[in-house]
Amino acid sequence: MTTAPAPHLAGNYAPVEQELTAYDLPVTGQIPPALTGWYLRNGPNPHDAASGHWFFGDGMIHGVRLEGGRAASYRNRWVRTSTFTDGASVNDAEGNLDLTAGVANTHVVRHAGRTLALVESSYPYELTCDLDTVGPYDFHGKLRTAMTAHPKTCPATGELHFFGYSLRAPYLTYHRADATGELVISRPIDVPAATMNHDFHLSAGHVIFMDLPVVFDLETARSGAGMPFRWNEGYGARLGVLRRDDPHGAVRWFSIDPCYVFHTLNAHDLAGPDGHEQIVLHVMRYPELFGGRNQEATLWRWTIDLTTGVVREEQLHDRAAEFPRIDDRLAGLDARHGHATVAHPTGSSALLRYDLRSGAVSSHEFGPGRTPGEAAFVPADDRPGGDGWLMTYVHDAATDTSDLVLLDATDLSAPPVATVHLPVRVPYGFHGNWLADQSSTNGRLPTHV
- Residue 197 falls within a domain, yes or no? yes
**Model confidence at 188: pLDDT above 90:** yes
- Co-location of 307 and 334 in the same domain: no
- Residue 153 falls within a domain, yes or no? no
| 104 Rama sector, left if φ>0, alpha if ψ -120 to 50, beta otherwise | left
- Residue 283 falls within a domain, yes or no? yes
Tens digit of each residue's pLDDT (9 = 90 or more) over 344-370 = 877 789 999 999 999 999 999 999 899
Specify the number of domains making up the chain. Answer: 3
- Co-location of 5 and 98 in the same domain: yes
The predicted structure's pLDDT at residue 68: 94
- In Å, what is the CA distance from 179 to each residue of 113, 159, 202, 335, 401? 10, 5, 16, 22, 40
Q: According to the 3-state scheme, what is the secondary structure of the chain? A: CCCCCCHHHCHHHCCCCCCEEEECCCEEECCCCCCCEEEEEEEECCCCCCCCCHHHCCEEEEEEEEECCEEEEEEEEECCCHHHHHCCCCECCCCCECCCCCCCCCEEEEECCEEEEECCCCCCEEECCCCCEEEECCCCCCCCCCCCCCCEECCCCCCEEEEEECCCCCCEEEEEECCCCCEEEEEEECCCCCECCCCCEECCCEEEEEECCEEECHHHHHHCCCCCEEECHHHCCEEEEEECCCCCCCCEEEECCCCEEEEEEEEEEEECHHHCEEEEEEEEEECCCCCCCCCCCEEEEEEEECCCCEEEEEECCCCCCEEEECCHHHCCCCCCEEEEEECCCCCCCEEEEEECCCCCEEEEECCCCEEECCCEEEECCCCCCCCEEEEEEEEECCCCEEEEEEEECCCCCCCCCEEEECCCCCCCCCCEEEEECCCCECCECCCCC
The predicted structure's pLDDT at residue 443: 29
- Co-location of 307 and 333 in the same domain: no
Domain boundary among 85, 109, 139: 139
User: Alpha-carbon distance 135 to 14, whole Å?
Assistant: 26
- Co-location of 312 and 167 in the same domain: yes
Residue 344 exposure: Cα atoms within 13 Å on the Cβ side: 14
352 near 339, Cβ under 8 Å? yes
- Co-location of 108 and 16 in the same domain: yes
- Residue 403 falls within a domain, yes or no? yes
- Co-location of 175 and 289 in the same domain: yes
- Residue 150 falls within a domain, yes or no? no
Please compute the mean of the pLDDT values over residues 44-60 and round it to a whole number: 90
* Weakest mean pLDDT among 23-32, 92-101, 318-327: 92-101
- Co-location of 133 and 184 in the same domain: no
- In Å, what is the CA distance from 210 to each residue of 213, 217, 281, 302, 371? 10, 19, 11, 12, 30
- Co-location of 132 and 15 in the same domain: yes
**Model confidence at 384: pLDDT above 90:** yes
Domain boundary among 316, 342, 371: 316
- Co-location of 201 and 238 in the same domain: yes
Please compute the mean of the pLDDT values over residues 411-420 and round it to a whole number: 97
Q: What's the pLDDT band for 91 if we cut at 50, 70, 90?
A: low
- Residue 126 falls within a domain, yes or no? yes
Mean pLDDT of the chain, nearest integer = 93
Residue 2's domain comprises: 1-139
- Co-location of 344 and 267 in the same domain: no
Please compute the mean of the pLDDT values over residues 310-329 and round it to a whole number: 98
- Co-location of 120 and 195 in the same domain: no
**Model confidence at 371: pLDDT above 90:** yes
- In Å, what is the CA distance from 345 to each residue of 66, 356, 369, 427, 428? 28, 27, 6, 12, 10
- Residue 39 falls within a domain, yes or no? yes
Q: Which residue has the higher pLDDT, 424 or 5?
A: 424
- Residue 441 falls within a domain, yes or no? no
- Co-location of 78 and 177 in the same domain: no
Domain boundary among 316, 335, 366: 316
